[in-house]
């Protein structure tokens, strides 16, 4: 996904429970939980960063190589995009 | 001068709305015919027609009409009235049901949940024998009008046990529950609680060989609240929450109510171990949180 990433707020509900974030797709009723790097990536999708910026921020946050982080984040963001929960522009 | 009796709005509401009288019930609601053996919630009302000929019709502000067939079994009449009808009235008035049996301890409610046959009633009976008063059996109603806490309403003050549970707990049976349930009523050995109390913990009963008590954390607390018990279906039909509303409700409960799983084998030894574990956990709540 290219461009700044933004959450499609009208498509989901979310809540924090302990160290996890639960997100429910309001179109399908499917819900999933985010923890660790997925949770951190979700929080970084705030309408100010593109994918590269999110990868850089996560690599710094977790002290991991950027290429290692990139594969997981691209996969995760791609899934969010296909679910309609995140859009790029 | 007489002291003023403090009551709780939700309890007053249920007392008012569950008043009942004998009469005839309609055979349709909202233009939908209801055959014997079926129920419906429509137009803010509840209609249940039993295959035995019993009928129950609830209208908000008026109460419940009970249609009693010739030769009707009083035990069956009470079973429906205190079960499905009671739950439907609660749901139509915004109370949230959980499929749970519960005890009270030091001003809070500890509710045990699981599918039918999991041993909820048996466990709270055993805890009653250890001094924990019964709060409710089978259905726990929550008043969620206070956004800061979930308040549980005390339920009907009798337990319903199978012959196996009677033997396991060594309790004396009273009259049969009726309607071929295979259960008998039992007086709660630890007494009962008649006032609303905050729900402190929801404990899920599970069967595995080694007894254990495990806190439930994170997203599992949300996931656990999805239940296919008929009371959940009643709530959905009564309140018709959209997905966002249902999410908010479950998210709130997941955040406000501690949860744990009580694991034990379904054996006499497992039952004793589960009582020991549950009693120890409940009595230690003053010192630390369960979850």
What is the C-alpha separation between B275 and B255, in angstroms, rounded? Answer: 27
Query: What torsion, rounded to 10 degrees, do the Cα atoms B144, B147, B152, B153 define?
Result: -60
Kindly report, residue by residue over B229-246, the tens digit of the pLDDT: 899 999 999 999 999 999
Burial class of residue B98 in the structure, from the number of CB atoms within 10 Å of its CB (0-12 exposed, 13-18 middle, 19+ buried)? buried
Q: Which two tokens stand for residue A53?
A: 């910026």
Closest CA to B86 of B12, B7, B155, B186: B155
- Give the pairing of strands B55-59 and B45-49: antiparallel
Mean pLDDT of the region B11-32: 97
- pLDDT score of B55: 98
Burial class of residue B275 in the structure, from the number of CB atoms within 10 Å of its CB (0-12 exposed, 13-18 middle, 19+ buried)? buried
- List strand residue ranges (DSSP E) for B124-196, in order: 134-136, 140-143, 151-153, 159-162, 183-186
Q: Under an 8 Å CB criterion, which residues of B touch A?
A: 217-219, 221-223, 243-244, 247-248, 251, 254-255
Q: What is the 3-state secondary structure (H, E, C) of B176-230?
A: ECCCCCCEEEECCCCCECCCCEEEEEEEEEEECCCCEEEEECCHHHHHCCCCCCH
- pLDDT score of B289: 47
User: What share of residues in chain B are helix, strand, coil (percent, to 5)?
Assistant: 30, 30, 40
Does A17 contact B248 at a Cβ distance shorter than 8 Å?
Answer: no
Closest CA to A46 of A36, A57, A35: A57
What is the C-alpha separation between B170 and B165, in angstroms, rounded? Answer: 8
CB contacts under 8 A, A 25-84 vs B, are 26, 29, 31, 33, 35
Min Cα separation A58/chain B (Å) = 22
- pLDDT score of B286: 54
Binning pLDDT at 50, 70 and 90, where does residue B226 land? confident
* pTM for the full predicted model: 0.91
Q: Which two tokens stand for residue B206?
A: 């599970």
Alpha-carbon Rg for chain A in angstroms? 12
First and final CA of chain A: distance in angstroms? 9
Size of interface A-B (CB pairs under 8 A): 44
pLDDT of residue B291 exceeding 60? no
Q: Which two tokens stand for residue B233?
A: 């279906």
Binning pLDDT at 50, 70 and 90, where does residue B3 land? very low
Question: What is the helix (H) or strand (E) element at residue B113, kind and residue range?
Answer: strand B108-113
Considering CB atoms only, which of B243, B248, B255 is closest to A17? B255
Burial readout B171-206 (b: 16 or more C-beta within 10 A, e: otherwise): beeeeebbbeeebbbbbbbbebbeebbbbbbbbbbe
pLDDT of residue B126 exceeding 70? yes
Write the DSSP symbol of residue B1: -
Mean pLDDT of the region A49-53: 95
Min Cα separation B72/chain A (Å) = 43
Query: What torsion, rounded to 10 degrees, do the Cα atoms B220, B221, B226, B231 define?
Result: 150
Write down the ipTM of this complex. Answer: 0.88
What percentage of chain B exceeds 70 in pLDDT?
96
């Amino acid at each position: 996904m290219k461009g700044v990433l933004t959450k499609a707020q009208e498509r989901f509900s979310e809540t924090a429970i302990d160290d996890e974030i639960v997100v429910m797709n309001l179109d399908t009723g499917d819900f999933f939980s985010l923890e660790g790097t997925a949770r951190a990536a979700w929080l970084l999708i705030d309408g100010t960063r593109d994918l590269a910026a999110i990868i850089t921020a996560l690599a710094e946050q977790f002290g991991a190589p950027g290429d290692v982080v990139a594969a997981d984040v691209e996969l995760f963001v791609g899934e969010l995009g296909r679910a309609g929960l995140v859009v790029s522009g | 001068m007489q002291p003023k009796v403090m009551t709780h709005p939700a309890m007053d509401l249920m007392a008012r709305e569950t008043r009942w009288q004998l009469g005839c019930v309609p055979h349709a609601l909202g233009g939908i015919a209801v055959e014997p053996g079926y129920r419906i919630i429509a137009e803010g009302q509840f209609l249940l027609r039993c295959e035995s000929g019993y009928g129950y019709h609830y209208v908000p502000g008026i109460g419940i009409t009970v249609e009693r067939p010739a030769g009707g079994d009083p035990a069956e009449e009470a079973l429906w009235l205190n079960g499905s009808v009671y739950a439907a009235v609660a749901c139509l008035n915004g109370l949230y049901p959980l499929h749970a049996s519960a005890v009270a301890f030091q001003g809070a409610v500890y509710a045990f949940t699981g599918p039918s046959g999991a041993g909820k009633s048996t466990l709270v009976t055993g805890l009653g024998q250890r001094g924990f008063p019964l709060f409710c059996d089978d259905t726990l109603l929550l008043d969620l009008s206070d956004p800061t806490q979930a308040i549980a309403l005390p339920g009907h003050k009798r337990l319903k046990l199978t012959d196996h549970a009677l033997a396991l707990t060594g309790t004396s049976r009273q009259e049969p529950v009726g309607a071929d349930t295979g259960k008998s009523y039992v007086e709660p050995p630890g007494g009962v609680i008649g006032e609303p109390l905050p729900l402190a913990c929801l404990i899920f009963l599970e069967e595995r060989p080694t007894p254990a008590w495990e806190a439930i954390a994170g997203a599992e607390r949300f996931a656990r609240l999805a239940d296919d018990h008929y009371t959940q279906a009643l709530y959905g039909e009564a309140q018709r929450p959209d997905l966002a509303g249902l999410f908010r409700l479950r998210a709130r409960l997941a955040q406000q109510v501690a949860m744990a799983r009580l694991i034990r084998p379904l054996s006499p030894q497992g039952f004793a171990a589960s009582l020991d574990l549950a009693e120890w956990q409940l009595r230690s709540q003053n010192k630390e949180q369960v979850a």
